Amino acid sequence: MTLNPDILSLDAEKVEKLRRDFPILARTVHGVPLVYLDNAATTQKPLAVIDALDRYYREYNSNIHRGVHTLSEEATDAYESARRRIARFINASEKEIVFTRNATEAINVVAYTWGRANLRPGDEVLITEMEHHANIVPWQILQEQVGFTLRYVPITEAGTLDLSNLDTLLTEKTKLFSFVHVSNVLGTVNPVDQLIAAARAVGACVLIDASQSVPHMPVDVKALDADFLVFSGHKMCGPTGIGVLYGKRELLEAMPPFMGGGDMIREVKMSGSRWNTIPYKFEAGTPAIAEGIGLGAAVDYLSEVGLDWIWQQEHALAAYAYAQMAQLEGVRILGPGPEERAGLVAFTLDGVHPHDISAILDQDGIAIRAGHHCAQPIHTHYDIAASARASFYLYNTKEEVDKLTAAIEKAVDVFGF
């Protein structure tokens, strides 16, 4: 997408209107207005989502699918309607949308069902050095149990994938290529079309961690031709405790269940059981009903705002923050330049631990993230223990970026640069 450099000034009025949809943005922290820049960790919730949760608990709280009374039917209709709207949001079939607790659980579902059924000694799984731990640890655990080889695409000093040796890493032995769409540390937007095409050339399946892309830009699973794609509700204005696994229908139908229990069965006898149809085969027990309904309200809200607009707004904010922060003494920005990154900026300050940076910024009401962001291999690559991260969403403003850079300058003064 081409960046519109004027969007920050042109859409200031729209942003201010959107901010009124988020009650928490009206609060103060340490006596000053909250500046919330921790959106890559979790986003704030609009009234539309809060009200949807409230209506469920006040008006039709009930278990779903098996009840024949009015409340159960209303809850079932609302829950399955949310599934259909979420499917449309990424251009999938509702049968291909499996509700999970989060993106982490969604990746684990693939690892422990598809992975156990399809991976053998001698096979290979390819991931990248910029993955979130959720797309590393499940494959490491399964590797120990099954005996396949786990390989990594390295990253460059600029924070992009080093694809110079992709043809040697991705071979006929590769059964799965699993990678992040947007890095939660570097902000790198990976060339997913190129990566998927390379996987297809050797017959490998593809899993995309879209936790940092689906909330921020249009994502079409059919156009991508992804086999699996995962994302979390709480990173896209939705509730915590709800995530999504998209899987191609033929793959989900061939996969064994993840957990056993209610609703994932069609018939249970003492001699054995038969499984329910997809997606219910992977949704054992009472699901996160309110949270699923809330996520449906969230995708409605994001669709109304417009994903193209959200992407432009965040990209412009990140570019502005990058330019401002690059001028600050002692600041090192991780990842590629503004044109190649999404709406976040992770950085270090010479001689200062990121936790101290975050604590100083908090005194000015500014919420950022500090740590390794569940991506230790990235920090190991750059020989740093942790970083600070400011991440933007549809309700952030240019003025908030100015407050961020002013607070970082204050930290520079405090620590004597």
* Confidence (pLDDT) at 265: 85
Q: Are residues 353 and 275 in the same domain?
A: no
Is residue 67 one of the residues assigned to a domain? yes
Residue 417 has pLDDT above 70, yes or no: no
pLDDT tens, position by position, 307-344: 999 999 999 999 999 999 999 999 999 999 999 999 99
Q: Are residues 268 and 364 in the same domain?
A: no
Question: How many domains does the structure of the chain reveal?
Answer: 2
Reading the block at residue 278, the tokens are 């997809």
Please tell me the chain's helix, strand, coil percentages from 3-state DSSP, rounded to the nearest 5: 45, 20, 35
Residue 3 has pLDDT above 90, yes or no: no
Given 303, 333, 364, the domain boundary residue is 303
Q: Are residues 39 and 69 in the same domain?
A: no
Is residue 2 one of the residues assigned to a domain? no
* Confidence (pLDDT) at 10: 55
Q: Are residues 312 and 379 in the same domain?
A: yes
Q: Are residues 179 and 287 in the same domain?
A: yes
**What integer best gives the mean pLDDT of the chain?**
95
Which one of the listed residues 306, 374, 382, 415 is annotated catalytic? 374
Q: What is the rounded CA–CA span in Å between residue 348 and residue 376?
A: 15
Residue 99 has pLDDT above 50, yes or no: yes
Residue 2 has pLDDT above 60, yes or no: no
Per-residue pLDDT band at 247 (split at 50, 70, 90): very high
All residues at 6 or more sequence positions from 179 whose CB lies less than 8 Å from its CB, including other chains: 127, 128, 131, 135, 153, 161, 190, 192, 195, 207, 208, 209
Phi, psi of 239 (to 5 degrees): -70, 165
374 is an active site residue:
yes
pLDDT tens, position by position, 48-72: 999 999 999 999 999 999 888 999 9
Is residue 311 one of the residues assigned to a domain? yes
Q: Are residues 255 and 314 in the same domain?
A: no
Helix (H, G, I), strand (E, B) or coil at 217: coil
CA 195 to the chain's CA centroid: 19
pLDDT tens, position by position, 115-141: 999 999 999 999 999 999 999 999 999
Cis peptide before 218 (omega within 30 of 0): no
Residue 11 has pLDDT above 90, yes or no: no
* Confidence (pLDDT) at 140: 98
Is residue 333 one of the residues assigned to a domain? yes
Given 303, 327, 358, the domain boundary residue is 303
Q: Are residues 277 and 327 in the same domain?
A: no
Q: Are residues 101 and 190 in the same domain?
A: yes
Residue 207 belongs to domain spanning: 50-303
Domain of 314, CATH number, reads 3.90.1150.10
* Confidence (pLDDT) at 1: 41
Q: Are residues 298 and 318 in the same domain?
A: no
Helix (H, G, I), strand (E, B) or coil at 218: coil
Based on its alpha-carbon atoms, the radius of gyration of the chain, rounded to whole angstroms, reads: 22
Q: Are residues 375 and 279 in the same domain?
A: no
CA 408 to the chain's CA centroid: 27
3-class secondary structure for 44-112? CCCHHHHHHHHHHHHHCCCCCCCCCCHHHHHHHHHHHHHHHHHHHHCCCCHHHEEEECCHHHHHHHHHH
Strand 331-333's sheet: what is its strand order? 331-333, 344-349, 387-391, 369-371
Is residue 27 one of the residues assigned to a domain? yes
Is residue 187 one of the residues assigned to a domain? yes
All residues at 6 or more sequence positions from 135 whose CB lies less than 8 Å from its CB, including other chains: 107, 127, 178, 179, 180, 207, 209
Q: Are residues 78 and 151 in the same domain?
A: yes
Given 303, 325, 356, the domain boundary residue is 303
Is residue 388 one of the residues assigned to a domain? yes
* Confidence (pLDDT) at 127: 98
Is residue 1 one of the residues assigned to a domain? no
* Confidence (pLDDT) at 275: 86
Q: What is the rounded CA–CA span in Å between residue 281 and residue 276?
A: 5
Domain of 80, CATH number, reads 3.40.640.10
* Confidence (pLDDT) at 262: 83
Q: How large a percentage of the chain has pLDDT more than 70? A: 97
Report, as an integer, the average pLDDT of 76-105.
Answer: 98
DSSP of 285-323, one letter per residue? SS--HHHHHHHHHHHHHHHHH-HHHHHHHHHHHHHHHHH
Residue 416 has pLDDT above 80, yes or no: no
Q: How large a percentage of the chain has pLDDT more than 90? A: 89
Q: Are residues 34 and 15 in the same domain?
A: yes
